[in-house]
Chain A
Amino acid sequence: MSEPVLEIRDLHVDYGFGDDPTHVLRGVDLTLHRGEVLGLAGESGCGKSTLAYAATRLLPPPGLITGGEVWLTDRDGRRSDVLGLTDAQLRAARWRDVAIVFQGAMSSLNPVFRIGRQLTDGIRAHRPGLSPRDLEARAAELLEMVGISADRLRAYPHQLSGGMRQRVMIAMALALEPQVLLMDEPTTALDVVMQRQILEQIMELRDRLGFSVVLITHDVSLLVEVADRIAIMYAGEIVEEATAQEVYRRPRHPYSSGLLGSFPPLHGPRRELSGIPGAPPDLQRLGAGCPFAPRCPHAMDVCRQVRPVLGPPSTGEDRRVACHLHDADLVGAGASSGLPPELAR
């Protein structure tokens, strides 16, 4: 596997500065390799967006990063911990090394500035030497790269359609050819046809420009199509991580299995959509055990007492899962009555 460009180590994030904060990220480990598309999936409120915001320190108050490291590799191969940068260093690294496309295509653009100005101000901040004409030319080039004619540079955001605005955001994110592109539900607000077009465009640009992508969405079936690897989040932690095909064909965590069961399959025979019983947990009231245990159809006594650790499953495959069902010691000790069939394929 190629070298890592973004390494998140044991990241902890709280909401609230008081004595009783909500722990929204609880020790997240994740690595993004060069040129890779990493999918991040989970229900609303599982912390997947928080992860993207925290990794760039864009999380608004009362967000607070309480532990961990985020190592970012720049184009010259130097690694730095985002959480230890000064404001000036962080500003310099943002957009140059890591760019973000946010969920709200409608609200991500400043309504009072022309598109052209919003495309160029980021470039100018990082490359102060460029002449206005160079900036303009670069902005036009970027717009055409995402299939928008350059004469829209003089348009205001309200004069563009939703799909166009999101393309503008993508063009903007690629302005400095960053190493890492974080995309938080980039197509959720768009219709299905537009979603597909935009994702295809991103993949094509990735092939051409060679950046790495973290694609955050609640739509697992979409990830199965475009991602190289998929990480599944639940209650502020990663519960399973493997290649897209492995996750799709052989989910190991009961939650992954349930999440896949709640979307129609892409190919093959139709099956009944199952969904997951119960509601996402209240992060204020998590017990000592596995956070998924109350909703898990296969929960054992140990699940309610001991929090499982993300690691390779008992089968020794090259993937990670946080579930006692796959815990080698427990399986060996005969604590489980064998794996349920849908997790043992």
Chain B
Amino acid sequence: MRFVLRRAAFYLFTAWAAITINFFVPRLLPGDPVTALMGRMQGRIDSNAEESLRVLFGLDQDMSLWDQYVHYWQMLLHGDLGLSFTHFPTPVADIVTQALPWTVGLVGIATVIAFLLGTAVGTGIGWRRGTWADSLLPITTFFSAVPYFWLGLIAIAVFAVNLGWFPSNGSYDRGMVPSLSWEFVGSVIYYGTLPALTIVVSSISGWILGMRNMMVTVSSEDYVTVAHAKGLPARAVVVGYAARNAILPQVSSFALALGFVVGGTLVMEMVFSYQGIGYTLYQAVSTHDYPLMQACFLVITLSVLVANLVADLAYAALDPRTRQEG
């Protein structure tokens, strides 16, 4: 229990740090673009909305930094993230809430599949060193070295443009009205398959390599030798002794690598024009929609923190040593 509480406290701290970074970034950087945009919006923007943008970007020179900070927190706690410039006057919070489920569905599921599959493959390769399985390593090395988005481009070129198996962009058939019908869900799955597969293929190699190295390291631990000496069946040794212990660092690195993986996979949404947070961030960047940009960063960070906490809970469940009291 103590372990989980300590981790939870750390994530709260990190969330605070991320929000504070979000507060300071626009203040430390030259604020001219925002002022310019606000100037262009003059008259079309109501005074309330203008006020929140001022708070978000620190345009109130007469307020002390501390007051600005308190004000900023008050806004955040009310769920006010300002108004989007491009989708004026839609509140940023609305856009982000709409995009988030798509990302959790696509990136979340694909990442979990990649982790599970990669761990399983890594177990196999790590256990059978010096066999044909080792020849898989250069392939995974290659995949770990290419940028995710480029694999996305290749996937579109081959499977969408040339073979025509999958649509090249979007998240469902535009001719449909979103509803909970089988037809619509089927369309979502059809549109999501190619991006999901691409994310799995591009991120799986990291998990394979990590698990392979941990298996190699754990295989020479004494307790694995003892398991062999006991004459346990091969399966029991691999699964119960070697993999069961090798997966512990794998889970903690899952937590740590999540930020990296999510960053890369968000770009995949941009390539596939998939209407999640990553694509929203891309649009915000290309249209200089600063409030939307800031909000996307916050939401991404908080989601990663939640995923981290889940990974830590899994770790605590897997390792009895963390459950020790005192």
Contact = CB atoms under 8 A, between A and B. Distances in A.
A/B: CB atoms within 8 Å of each other: yes
Interface of A: 56, 58, 60-61, 87, 90-96, 99-100, 102-104, 107-113, 121-122, 125-126, 156, 158-159, 169, 172
Nearest to B224: A110
Given A112-B318, A112-B320, A156-B320, A126 B231 contact: yes
A125 B222 contact: no
9 contacts: A60-B219, A61-B130, A91-B231, A94-B229, A95-B229, A100-B229, A110-B245, A112-B245, A122-B232
Contacts of B33: none
B223 interface: yes
Interface residues of B, number: 28
B148 interface: no
B321 A111 contact: yes
A58 B324 CA distance: 33
B183 interface: no
Contact of B321 (A56, A109, A158): A158
Nearest to B226: A108
A96 B229 CA distance: 10
From B225, B241, B248, B318, residue with most partner A Cβ within 10 Å: B225
B3 to A, nearest CB: 14
Interface in B180-239: 219-223, 225-234, 236
A58 B228 CA distance: 7
A102 B225 contact: yes
Contacts of B319: 111-112
Contacts of B318: 112
Interface of B: 129-130, 219-223, 225-234, 236, 240-241, 244-245, 248, 318-321, 324
Given A96-B231, A122-B232, A125-B230, A102 B240 contact: no
Contact of B232 (A108, A121, A169): A121
B225 A58 contact: yes
Contact of A92 (B225, B226, B231, B245): B231
B225 A121 contact: no
A125 B321 contact: no
A94 B228 contact: yes
B225 A60 contact: yes
B240 A95 contact: no
B225 A110 contact: no
B131 to A, nearest CB: 12
Contacts of B245: 110-112
Nearest to A93: B231
B229 A99 contact: yes
B221 A125 contact: no
A158 B320 contact: yes
Contact of B241 (A61, A92, A103, A110): A110
Contact of B223 (A56, A107, A126): A107
Contacts of A94: 228-231
Nearest to A96: B231
From A61, A92, A125, residue with most partner B Cβ within 10 Å: A125
Given A125-B231, A158-B324, A110 B220 contact: no
A58 B231 contact: no
Contacts of A169: 226
Contacts of A121: 230, 232, 236, 240
A162 to B, nearest CB: 14
A159 B233 CA distance: 27
Contacts of A93: 231
What 7 A-B pairs have minimum CB-CB distances, sorted nearest first? Answer: A94-B231, A122-B230, A107-B222, A91-B231, A110-B223, A156-B320, A108-B222
Contacts of A156: 320-321
Nearest to B323: A156
Given A110-B245, A156-B321, A158-B324, A102 B230 contact: no
A113 B240 contact: yes
Contact of A125 (B129, B236, B241): B236
A317 to B, nearest CB: 37
Nearest to A59: B225
A125 B232 contact: yes
From B130, B223, B232, B245, residue with most partner A Cβ within 10 Å: B223
B320 A111 contact: yes
Contacts of B236: 121, 125
